[in-house]
Chain A
């Protein structure tokens, strides 16, 4: 079946450090891939997405590239801020209106 695997957290970084959160997936067909972010006490917000191989999603300085050959969608940011502290969820949809399948989430803590 379809699944998403994320690196375990928590990830603790200093402000302005480089961030990578690994995400790999298993899916039939050609899924669309997403990163959602959950700030403390809040719901899920779409951060970025990519719908086909080699697409790069980007938003708020975050980027992720859909790599079909490695079935990966790693999240990166060049310089994190304290305000980026949150839980990040990688997710996929296989088929247009189907359910989202989430990874376990990775908690990021950024210190000044």
Chain B
């Protein structure tokens, strides 16, 4: 069964450093998303992406964040200058194909900013 994959599974970084989180969505999906979950809290929407552009973003997704689909398979989230409060689990999701509304999630990247 096709699945969304994410790398790395864990990342530790120093405050102020740039990080890039990588995702490979399900191959025939056209809609891509990033969510985050701060430890013990609810899952929050960050951004959605379609046709090589952002279709919606939340207030969390400020100028420090960017997304890119650099090739036909990868979808990345970049945080330019990490803050302590960026520490969270970041989930990638994709949707499309026959069942358009259902978003399938990757296993997540746990980011720790020190």
Task: Determine whether B75 belongs to the interface, using a CB cutoff of 8 Å to chain A.
Answer: no
Chain B neighbourhood of A49, CB < 8 A: 101-102
Q: How large is the interface on A (under 10, 10 to 19, 20 to 34, 35 or more residues)?
A: 20 to 34
B100, closest chain A residue (CB): A96
Contact indicator per residue, chain B 45-69, by CB within 8 Å of chain A (1) or not (0): 1001010000110100000000000
For the complex, count residues of B whose C-beta is within 8 A of A. Answer: 26
Interface of B is mostly: strand
- The one of B42, B48, B93 in contact with A98, judged by C-beta atoms closer than 8 angstroms, is B48
A97 and B31 contact, Cβ closer than 8 Å, known pairs A43-B105, A45-B105: yes
A-B residue pair count with CB separations less than 8 angstroms: 57
User: In the bound complex, how far is the Cα of B95 from the Cα of A63, in angstroms?
Assistant: 23
User: In the bound complex, how far is the Cα of B43 from the Cα of A104, in angstroms?
Assistant: 8
Chain B neighbourhood of A32, CB < 8 A: 101
A34, closest chain B residue (CB): B102
Chain B neighbourhood of A45, CB < 8 A: 105
Task: Determine whether A17 belongs to the interface, using a CB cutoff of 8 Å to chain B.
Answer: no
- The one of B42, B56, B106, B108 in contact with A102, judged by C-beta atoms closer than 8 angstroms, is B42
Q: Is the CB of B101 within 8 A of A44?
A: no
Task: Determine whether A42 belongs to the interface, using a CB cutoff of 8 Å to chain B.
Answer: yes
A98 and B56 contact, Cβ closer than 8 Å, known pairs A42-B107, A44-B105: yes
Chain B neighbourhood of A42, CB < 8 A: 107
Given contacts A42-B107, A98-B48, A98-B56, 12 further A-B contacts (CB under 8 A): A46-B102, A91-B43, A97-B48, A97-B100, A99-B48, A100-B33, A100-B45, A100-B93, A101-B45, A103-B42, A104-B42, A105-B42
A residues with CB within 8 A of B: 32, 34, 36, 42-46, 49, 51, 89, 91, 93, 96-105
